[in-house]
Amino acid sequence: MDRRQQKTRAAIFSAFTTLLEEKSYGKITVQEIIDAANVGRTTFYAHFGTKDDLLKALCEELFGHIIQTAMDCSHTHGLYSDAAAPESVFCHLLQHLQENDSNILGLLSCESSDIFLRYFKDSLNELIQTQFIHPNPYHNSKIPPDFFINHISSSFVEMVLWWLKGHRKQSPEELDQYFRAVIEPILP
């Protein structure tokens, strides 16, 4: 993708994100996105086939970036210039959420949050699969791995929502301690 295409795509993402903060996903029209991004209809459709495709691409970019950086602790965006990166992948993930790149916390708590929470949870499922299931296959045959993954990712999403509703009073390190205290007994 060339620089012009990247700039257009960023403008569409930005316009869409702004609109999502103002109204629910279902009430946003492609025309409103086009107008807010200041692009033509043909340009919009050259990048995204539908509004749903735009939503999926936005979520993949936002959550994919956060999950990838959590999995690769060497890619820290300067979070740890004065200290070492955390050992916990969950703490690392919470620190990236706290940075609030692209207003991700606003999207997780907006009127259309259920859509974003679903994508966030799906991304977490992948993280948990690679961090906890593949390296240490879960040996408790009474609990299927997909149930275990769903349980951990759902719990993490609910914790993030609790944190947002409480106006983010706890630090990522405190949340990580709470979360690990609850899930470590069931980790493989």
- Number of Cβ within a 10 Å radius of residue 9: 20
The Cα 85–Cα 74 span in angstroms is 8
12-26: average pLDDT = 89
Are the C-beta atoms of residues 169 and 91 closer than 8 Å to each other?
A: no
Q: 12 near 37, Cβ under 8 Å? A: yes
User: With 70 as the cut, is the pLDDT of residue 162 above it?
Assistant: yes
Q: How confident is the model at residue 136 (pLDDT cuts 50, 70, 90)?
A: low
pLDDT at 35 over 90: yes
CA distance 183 to 39: 47
Chain centroid offset of residue 162 CA: 16
Q: Is the pLDDT of residue 117 over 70?
A: yes
| Mean pLDDT computed over every residue of the chain | 83
Chain segment 76-113, per-residue pLDDT in tens: 444 433 444 446 888 888 888 888 766 778 888 887 88
Q: Name which residue leads in pLDDT, 140 or 82.
A: 140
Which pLDDT does position 128 carry in this prediction? 85
Over residues 5-25, the mean pLDDT reads: 91
- Categorize the per-residue pLDDT at 148 as very low, low, confident or very high, splitting at 50, 70 and 90: confident
Kindly report, residue by residue over 36-71, the tens digit of the pLDDT: 999 999 999 999 999 999 998 988 888 887 777 776
